[in-house]
């Protein structure tokens, strides 16, 4: 493993900081404030290989860069898929792009969900809002190797029926007998006939063996904290719970320190952490 002084060599830095050009192949709206981009390498070169949970830095030239989790299939890396929520100047600029436009991509960065380590276990994936995007590669990966896992449960909470991401795909997955999907929304009007309530309310009803379960959670931090409480209440060991943290990342590779969270750099040591490693940090107001 490279030590800190090696990493800080200008050559290493420049390679990490150099974006590769990608062309927008497709861009489409998922919900009123989210959209998905499909990118292909502009040079026609090889696909980027990534693991579920990793992210890329997407660069809109002249505007800026944002860290975005990869939401596509790790076994089918072209096109490179990202689902974004329009929240700031860079994501708004990305939303304005059209097929044929060019973006810069650096990555993939960060740690991955423990898809291999969880072999033989029941899996509980808990997603809140756009947090479903970083977990979708896990689902692709699991479904490709479905026999290697026990029960697979996806619990997804979002704001309203109109905010449900990947509707068609979820519908398709719900028809599978080997996948247990529960969706809930915080509020609804008719004709919605599904669950209404917070995502944590789905945990006591879900079917899994707590002692032999690996849980992966992605969503707003408060949703993750309450979900962890429910999972622990059901008997899932803390070191079987994994979370994806979000902090203000700039370089994406541990040079700048923007995303430092106590002793950890979220971009390099995370974004996916086993819960005990970040337990203390998640409950602190300021670090």
Partner 1 sequence: MQDLGPYLKQHPFLAGMTDSQIELLVGCASNVKFNIGDYVSREGQPAKRFFFVRHGRLALELMTHDRGPMVIETLTEGDVLGWSWLFPPHVWHFDVKAVELTRAIAMDGECLRNKCEEDHELGYEIMKRFSHVMVNRLSATRLQLLDIYGKRK
Q: Interface with partner 1 by CB under 8 A: which residues?
A: 33, 85, 87, 128-130, 157-159, 163, 184, 186-190, 192-198, 200-201, 204-205, 219-220, 222-223, 226
Reported as type and span, the H/E element at residue 231 is helix 221-234
Choice between 24 and 68, CB closer to partner 1: 68
Closest by Cα among 125, 38, 30, 46 to 85:
30
Separation between Cα atoms, residue 3 and residue 260, nearest integer Å: 18
Closer residue to partner 1 in complex, CB, 194/235: 194
Going by C-alpha positions, the residue among 143, 220, 148, 147 that lies closest to residue 174 is: 143
Residue 17's closest CA among 267, 191, 203? Answer: 267
CB of 233 to partner 1, least distance (A): 10
Q: How far is the CB of 166 from partner 1 (least distance, A)?
A: 15
Dist. CA 119–CA 271, nearest whole Å: 21
- Smallest separation, CB 194 to partner 1 (Å): 7
- Nearer Cβ to partner 1, position 102 or 160? 160
The nearest distance, CB 29 to partner 1, in angstroms, is 16
CB of 252 to partner 1, least distance (A): 22
Q: Is 189 exposed, middle or buried (0-12, 13-18, 19+ CB in 10 A)?
A: exposed
**C-beta of 110 vs 129, nearer to partner 1:** 129
Q: Which is nearer to partner 1, 41 or 161 (CB)?
A: 161
Nearest distance in Å: CB 7, partner 1: 33
Start-to-end CA distance of the chain, whole Å, equals: 28
Q: Is residue 12 a contact partner of residue 2, using CB atoms and an 8 Å limit?
A: yes
Q: CA-to-CA distance for 132 and 83, rounded, in angstroms?
A: 9
Residue number with CB closer to partner 1 (93 or 264): 93
* DSSP H/E element including 220: none
């Amino acid at each position: 493993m490279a030590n800190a002084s090696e990493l800080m060599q200008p050559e290493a830095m420049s390679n990490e900081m150099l974006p590769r050009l990608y062309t927008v192949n497709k861009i489409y709206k998922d919900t009123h404030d989210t959209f998905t981009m499909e990118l292909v390498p502009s040079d026609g070169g090889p696909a980027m290989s990534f693991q579920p949970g990793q992210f890329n830095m997407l660069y809109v030239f002249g505007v800026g860069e944002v860290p975005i989790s990869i939401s596509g299939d790790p076994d089918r890396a072209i096109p490179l898929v990202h689902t974004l929520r329009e929240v700031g100047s860079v994501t708004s600029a990305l939303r304005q792009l059209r097929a044929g436009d060019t973006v810069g991509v650096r990555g993939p960065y960060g740690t991955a969900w423990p898809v291999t380590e969880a072999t033989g276990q029941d899996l509980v994936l808990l997603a809140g809002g756009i947090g479903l995007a970083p977990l979708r590669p896990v689902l692709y990966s699991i479904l490709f190797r479905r026999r290697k896992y026990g029960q697979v449960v996806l619990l997804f909470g979002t704001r309203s029926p109109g905010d449900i991401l990947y509707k068609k795909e979820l519908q398709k997955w719900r028809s599978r007998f080997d996948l247990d999907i529960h969706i809930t929304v915080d509020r609804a009007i008719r004709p919605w006939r599904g669950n209404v309530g917070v995502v944590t309310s789905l945990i006591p009803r879900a079917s899994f063996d707590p002692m032999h379960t690996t849980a992966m959670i992605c969503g707003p931090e408060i949703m993750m904290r309450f979900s962890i409480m429910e999972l622990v209440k059901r008997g899932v060991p803390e070191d079987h719970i994994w979370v994806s943290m979000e902090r203000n990342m700039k370089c994406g590779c541990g040079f700048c320190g923007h995303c430092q969270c106590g002793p950890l750099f979220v971009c390099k040591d995370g974004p996916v952490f086993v819960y005990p490693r970040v337990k203390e940090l998640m409950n602190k107001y300021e670090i």
